[in-house]
Amino acid sequence: MAFVLSDFARQTVGLNSGEVTADAVIYGAPAWYTYRSAADDIATIVAANYFADAVYKLSDNDLIFIVATDAVGLYTVSAIDRAAGTISLTAASLTGAVDTANIVNLAVTTAKLANDAVTNAKLADDAVETANILDANVTTAKLAADAVDNTKLADNAVSLENLDAGITPSHIVVFAGQPTTTGGAAAEAITVTGAAATDLAFVEMVDDGTNNTTIVNAVVTLNTLTVTFSADPGADAVINYQLLRAAS
């Protein structure tokens, strides 16, 4: 479409005389105009020379409040050449900071953020909590090396349901320890409160002690890990254990 003069208006002419330059000194303030289009979007309206038919009405720095089919905005005349019939606009920015109170809850979405735009330096401590992360929205592609460290996460902020399938483990370590045997029999029962019979046990010898035994097997039952040695391990054998539990 094109500029429509009848949709273009100067506001309060009596108090809106515009800027005047005399002897390299600028007097007055920018004139104020409004423009509404029922046919053109904002990109079309603010393109160069859209307002060419109004070059004798407009001056440098004049302000135009534009109502387009898809948006509204305030623009200033940044360059004008009446002889050539050309005119350019620039978006007029308002001073002031955007703080938390000015942002509607959930208004900043993933689509509004460039990749790697949010870094450690941009996050307050404990700013990212579980409630702020959509399920499966943290993907490997969104994590730069060392991008998320412990100081930026609230306790329990990243849980399994917030991770995509590519980085969700099949099992997680639920218990671990390094006990010393008490001896008396080849089978040593170790209390692990919370252990379930379905947990997987991984056990290794750290110090075989004076009896020089080896580990034969390990069985998990409710609240108990039973490790069987090749013989009585005595009271000075040291082992490490980990109990893994299915994540889903």
The confidence band for 243, taking pLDDT boundaries of 50, 70 and 90, is very high
Contacts of 194 (CB under 8 A, 6+ apart): 174, 175, 223
The confidence band for 222, taking pLDDT boundaries of 50, 70 and 90, is very high
Q: Which two tokens stand for residue 135?
A: 């399920």
User: Is the pLDDT at 30 greater than 70, yes or no?
Assistant: yes
Q: What are phi and psi of 5, to 5 degrees?
A: -60, -35
**At CA 247, angle to CA 241 and CA 248, rounded to 5?**
145
pLDDT of residue 121: 78
The confidence band for 160, taking pLDDT boundaries of 50, 70 and 90, is low
User: Is the pLDDT at 76 greater than 90, yes or no?
Assistant: yes
CB-count exposure of residue 53 (10 Å: 0-12, 13-18, 19+): middle
Query: Are 238 and 207 in contact, with CB atoms under 8 Å apart?
Result: yes
Mean pLDDT for the stretch of residues 153-170: 67
CB-count exposure of residue 153 (10 Å: 0-12, 13-18, 19+): middle
Rounded to whole angstroms, the Cα distance separating 77 from 95 reads 18
Point out the least confidently predicted range of 83-87, 164-168, 235-239. 164-168
User: Is the pLDDT at 13 greater than 60, yes or no?
Assistant: no
Q: Which two tokens stand for residue 232?
A: 């009585």
- Indicate the pairing of strand 63-67 with strand 32-36: parallel
Point out the least confidently predicted range of 88-92, 96-100, 118-122. 96-100
- Of all helices (H) and strands (E), which one includes residue 38? none
Q: What's the pTM? A: 0.41
Average pLDDT of the chain? 85
Mean pLDDT for the stretch of residues 126-130: 76
More confident residue, 116 or 48: 48
- Sequence ranges of the domains in the chain: 5-91, 96-168, 171-246
pLDDT of residue 69: 94
Give Cα 194 distance to the centre of its chain.
Answer: 36
